[in-house]
């Protein structure tokens, strides 16, 4: 009996340790989120109490302040700007990028490797380095403080990354799958849409998430070329802390709404991230 139970208890111990470690990591990751949400729900007096209060009576005052009263301008406008700019630039980057990546993966031509490298090289310089020229260019074409300016900028920033990731995904598709469709009467365009794109879905999802996160979080350029009409949530958050001192409750309430959309977006897409969809295609 003892000889039987020993390996089992060892196994359980190992599982328990793994579970414990996982809990610590998850707790560590979620703790800031917890602080953010609770701070937003606390009354002013509870926020700064020491030692911190773990139990408190929640209030929606901070949310009310942030969304209805604050600064005379509605935070929902900024939220809308962020959603619009992120959605548009992500769709453009992934849409255009997948076509470019497919072309680079499937139609090699003289110098196509150099072209691919050139595309990657656009990411070599840090964004700060070309903020001024970008600003001057946008000003000369009258795009300062417009949605279009940020959409174009984020699209171009994400495009090189999307192209490089998807090029690898497309190159991994067994060529016979596309040839089978071609022989069956599909045009190149139909092959791209009906065979190639569905097979790189994990790549599309991954690049879409990363593009969206970049566009959603970008602050530097947004802060410089937008003031009111096209300003995004990060811009709003920064202006917020400067002009009012820091009203922590309201700050966290807006912060919650700045984080939530991108979390939901990622949450729903990440289950498509599974690799190995192409397994079993050939052989």
Partner 1 sequence: MPRIEFDNVSKRYTPTTHAVKNLTFAIENGSFLCVLGPSGCGKSSTLRMLAGLESITEGEIRVDGKRYNELKAQSRDFAMVFENYALYPHLDVYGNLAMPLATRRLPRREIARRVGEIAETLQITEHLRKRPRQLSGGQRQRVGLGRAIIRDTRTFLMDEPLGHMEAYLRQQLRTEIRRLHEELGATTFYITHDQEEAAAISDQIVVMSDGRLQQAGDLLTLLDNPVNKFVAEFIGNLPISIIPAAVASNFGVPELIVGGARMPLPENRASLIESSISSGGSKLEVGVRPGDIELFEDSAPNRLPLSVTVVEPLGDSAVVVADGPAGRLRATVPADTAPPPGKSVHAEFDPSRLLLFDEAGINIFRTA
Q: Least distance (Å) from partner 1 to the CB of residue 196?
A: 10
Separation of CA 192 from chain center:
25
- From the list 42-50, 106-114, 197-205, 244-252, the region that binds partner 1 by CB under 8 A is 197-205
What part of residues 201-230 is at the interface with partner 1 (CB under 8 A)?
201
Among 7, 142, 245, 280, binds partner 1 (CB under 8 A): 280
Residues 209, 32, 211, CA angle at the centre, nearest 5°? 15
Residue 252 burial class via C-beta count within 10 angstroms: exposed 0-12, middle 13-18, buried 19 and up: buried
Residue (of 140, 126, 160, 113) closest to 225 by Cα position: 140
From first CA to last CA, the distance across the chain in angstroms is: 48
Is residue 199 part of the contact set for partner 1 (CB under 8 A)? yes
CA distance 161 to 154: 11
Pick 137 or 281: Cβ nearer partner 1 = 281
SS in 3 state form for 48-93? Answer: CCCCCCCCCCCCCHHHHHHHHHHHHCCHHHHHHHHHHHHHHHHHHH
- From the list 13-21, 53-61, 137-145, 184-192, the region that binds partner 1 by CB under 8 A is 184-192
- From the list 9-17, 55-63, 169-177, 234-242, the region that binds partner 1 by CB under 8 A is 169-177
Residue 198: what are its φ and ψ, rounded to 5°? Answer: -60, -30
Could you give the string, one character per residue 117-156, with x where binding to partner 1 holds by CB under 8 A and - elsewhere? ----------------------------------------
CA distance 115 to 104: 9
Pick 63 or 169: Cβ nearer partner 1 = 169
- From the list 40-48, 62-70, 137-145, 196-204, the region that binds partner 1 by CB under 8 A is 196-204
CA distance 204 to 212: 12
Among 51, 133, 185, 245, binds partner 1 (CB under 8 A): 185
Among 49, 190, 227, 241, binds partner 1 (CB under 8 A): 190
- From the list 74-82, 116-124, 181-189, 244-252, the region that binds partner 1 by CB under 8 A is 181-189
Q: Least distance (Å) from partner 1 to the CB of residue 113?
A: 17
Binding-site ranges for partner 1 (CB under 8 A):
174, 176-177, 179-187, 190, 194-195, 198-199, 201, 277-283
């Amino acid at each position: 009996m003892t000889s039987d139970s020993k390996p089992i208890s060892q196994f359980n111990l190992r599982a328990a340790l793994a579970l414990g470690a996982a809990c610590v990591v998850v707790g560590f990751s979620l703790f800031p989120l917890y602080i953010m949400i609770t701070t937003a729900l606390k009354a002013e007096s509870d926020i700064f109490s020491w030692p911190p209060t773990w139990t408190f009576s929640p209030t929606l005052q901070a949310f009310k302040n942030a969304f209805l009263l604050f600064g005379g301008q509605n935070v929902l406008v900024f939220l809308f700007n962020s959603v619009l700019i992120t959605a548009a630039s992500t769709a453009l980057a992934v849409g255009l990028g997948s076509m470019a990546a497919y072309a680079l993966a499937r139609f090699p031509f003289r110098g196509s490797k150099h072209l691919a490298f050139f595309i990657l090289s656009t990411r070599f310089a840090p964004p700060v380095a070309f903020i001024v020229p970008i600003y001057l260019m946008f000003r000369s074409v009258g795009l300062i403080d417009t949605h279009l300016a940020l959409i174009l900028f984020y699209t171009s920033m994400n495009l090189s990354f999307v192209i490089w990731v998807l090029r690898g995904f497309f190159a991994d598709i067994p060529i016979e799958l596309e040839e089978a469709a071609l022989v069956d009467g599909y045009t190149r365009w139909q092959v791209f849409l009906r065979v190639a794109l569905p097979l790189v879905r994990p790549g599309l999802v991954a690049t879409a998430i990363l593009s969206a996160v970049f566009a959603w979080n970008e602050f530097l350029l947004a802060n410089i070329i937008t003031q009111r009409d096209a300003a995004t949530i990060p811009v709003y958050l920064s202006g917020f802390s400067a002009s009012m001192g820091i009203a922590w409750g309201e700050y966290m309430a807006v912060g919650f709404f700045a984080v939530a959309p991108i979390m939901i977006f990622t949450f729903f897409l990440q289950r498509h991230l599974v690799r190995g969809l192409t397994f079993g295609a050939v052989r």
